Amino acid sequence: MEELLIDLYGGQFERELLQEIAAVGVFKNVPADTVLMDFGQYVKSMPLLLKGAIKIMREDQDGDELLLYFLEKGDTCAMTLSCCMGFTKSEIKAVTETDTQLIMVPVQHMESWLGKYKSWRGFVMDSYHDRLMEMLDAIDSIAFMNLEDRVMKLLAEKSQITGSKDVRNTHKEIAQELHTSRVVISRILKKLENEKRIALHRSHITLL
């Protein structure tokens, strides 16, 4: 596990910090579509993402979900940090988008490292900033983009994450992530196909 950490964070974290993470962290291989954290749970560990992608969802009063942003290799979740350090229940849901490798760091070590390692403090602050920017981007998309553009943006993000032009999500899954109905998404996808921007298949969508 220490070799994985060095490959990913070797130029960012002190050697002593990498050794501590390897000693106390719990390595996990998690398949796609696995719920890592759900609404209302207490969070006792923070994930360091080594490989794969995780989508972060928010829930409204009716129990419907909205995609906020994706976490990728090298990322962590600022909202997880807040829940851990404040001992509060999670207000987000984290689900693996692809097969994922991560290290779970217990909360008590996270706090002690803030005072012990300058690189860790910087990493935490950068994580807060990055997630805030992604939250603002999600708000801008909802406020200023039409649904057709939001669909294309989501498909492009998923394509970038997987490194493939084939997006293997159902119309229902895309509708849930964008907080709309499957019928509306199916109509938009058909329109995008007619415009030669995507190709629809039985099990996936291809970006053209």
The answer to whether 193 and 199 have CB atoms below 8 angstroms apart is: yes
How high is the pLDDT of residue 84?
66
Query: What mean pLDDT comes out for the span 73-96?
Result: 80
Residue 103's alpha-carbon distances to 5, 84, 95, 192, in angstroms, are 9, 15, 15, 39
> How many of the other CB atoms lie within 10 Å of CB of 50?
20
Hey, which of 42-51, 77-86, 115-124 has the most confident mean pLDDT? 115-124
pLDDT digits (tens, 9 = 90+) for 34-52: 999 898 888 888 889 999 9
Domains 2-143 and 146-207 agree in fold: no
How far apart are the C-alpha atoms of 105 and 83, rounded to whole Å?
Answer: 13
What sign results for the dihedral spanned by CA atoms 111, 115, 120, 124? positive
The number of residues making up the chain comes to: 208
160-198: string of b/e by CB count within 10 Å (b at 16+)?
ebbeeeebebebeebbbbbbbeeeebbebbeebeeeeeb
- SS3 state of residue 165: coil
This prediction has a pTM of 0.86
pLDDT at 208 over 70: yes
Instruction: Give the CATH number of domain 2-143.
Output: 2.60.120.10
Every domain of the chain and the residues it spans = 2-143, 146-207
Considering the domain delimited by 146-207, tell me its CATH architecture.
Answer: Orthogonal Bundle (1.10)
How far apart are the C-alpha atoms of 62 and 39, rounded to whole Å?
Answer: 13
